[in-house]
Amino acid sequence: MENKTEHLLELYFANALSPAEVSELQRLVAADPALRQEMAWQQNLANTLRTTSLRDGIQNEALRHASAPPKTAIRRRLFMLSFAAAASVAVLVAAAWFFALPKNPVENALVTNLVHYPNRMDFKSLGGPEAGQEAAPENVRRAFELYDDSTNYHRSAEALGAVVQQYPDRLAYRFYYGYALLRDKKYDLAIANLQPVAATDSTTFQAAAQYHLGLAYAGAGQYAQARTTLQQFLAAPNTLRKYHVGTEAVLGALPKE
């Protein structure tokens, strides 16, 4: 393979291709079956490596031990998490008495553990497209602006639904649509849209989709599916440890089998 093509592949996996480089690589891939095969092989490698850890490369026992955060840091985080959880529970107990929260423990667990998923789309979180990048279409930007106003998921779900109809293969859009539906308690529709994202290993949102899919199943009363999905999420080697507390809480609220 030529150096130039190798460099383009490197930029592809780094998500650092300019629009011109995207076109160039597309042209090369279309014209060269060997390059297509090579790219598929590297993609397979990338998927395989998702479950590995940099830490596994440390041979020295003492250095490997030192690579984990110290127990005091973990204990402090656990303390803060449990303190925050205890404070949340205390507030909710009081609110439940005044505002009559749903009696269903599963619904309670969902209410307690659903937090706004941040908008990570490039055109929002980085203050607009970077130089050389293509700007997102206006209707897409508006839908995500509605999403950012996390007080009205119903409106953002409607807008994102139209976006997903226009771009049915864009898993990122589908993820946010599914999430907005979940927050709007349209559980069956949320399931239908989060499922394909959760099932696709190579997307950035796979792990988050799997977690929220589990919650959607719980909300829809499909408890067996909820249990399976959330247990798979816990067991999978992903980096979304922040959702583990919520996962355990919802699993604990599900009716016993």
**What Rg do the C-alpha atoms of the chain give, in angstroms?**
21
Contact status, residue 6 vs residue 35, Cβ threshold 8 Å: no
Nearest approach in angstroms of CB 65 to other proteins is: 6
Instruction: Give the position of tokens 């999403």.
Output: 147
Which tokens sit at 40?
A: 């598929």
Report the residue from 4, 116, 154, 242 that binds other proteins according to the rule CB under 8 A. 242
Q: Does 208 bind other proteins (CB under 8 A)?
A: no
Which tokens sit at 21?
A: 């480089």
Nearest approach in angstroms of CB 106 to other proteins is: 25
Contact status, residue 106 vs residue 219, Cβ threshold 8 Å: yes
Q: Does 151 bind other proteins (CB under 8 A)?
A: no
Contact status, residue 239 vs residue 253, Cβ threshold 8 Å: no
Report the residue from 34, 57, 103, 257 that binds other proteins according to the rule CB under 8 A. 57
Report the residue from 2, 138, 169, 257 that binds other proteins according to the rule CB under 8 A. 169
User: Residue 143, CB half-sphere, CA atoms under 13 Å: how many?
Assistant: 22
Which region, judged by CB under 8 A, interacts with other proteins, from 23-31, 89-97, 104-112, 146-154? Answer: 23-31
> Which CB atom, from 137 or from 221, has the smaller least distance to other proteins?
137
> Which CB atom, from 33 or from 57, has the smaller least distance to other proteins?
57
**Which string of x and - marks every residue 95-114 that binds other proteins (by CB under 8 A)?**
--------------------
Residues 195 and 229: their CA atoms lie apart, in Å, by: 10
Contact status, residue 165 vs residue 143, Cβ threshold 8 Å: no
Cα separations (Å) of 100 from 89, 108, 212, 215?
14, 11, 25, 22
Q: Does 54 bind other proteins (CB under 8 A)?
A: yes
Interaction site with other proteins (CB under 8 A): 3, 6-7, 10-16, 19, 22-23, 25-26, 29, 39-50, 52, 54-60, 62-70, 72-73, 118, 120-123, 125-126, 134, 136, 167, 169-173, 200, 202-204, 239, 241-242
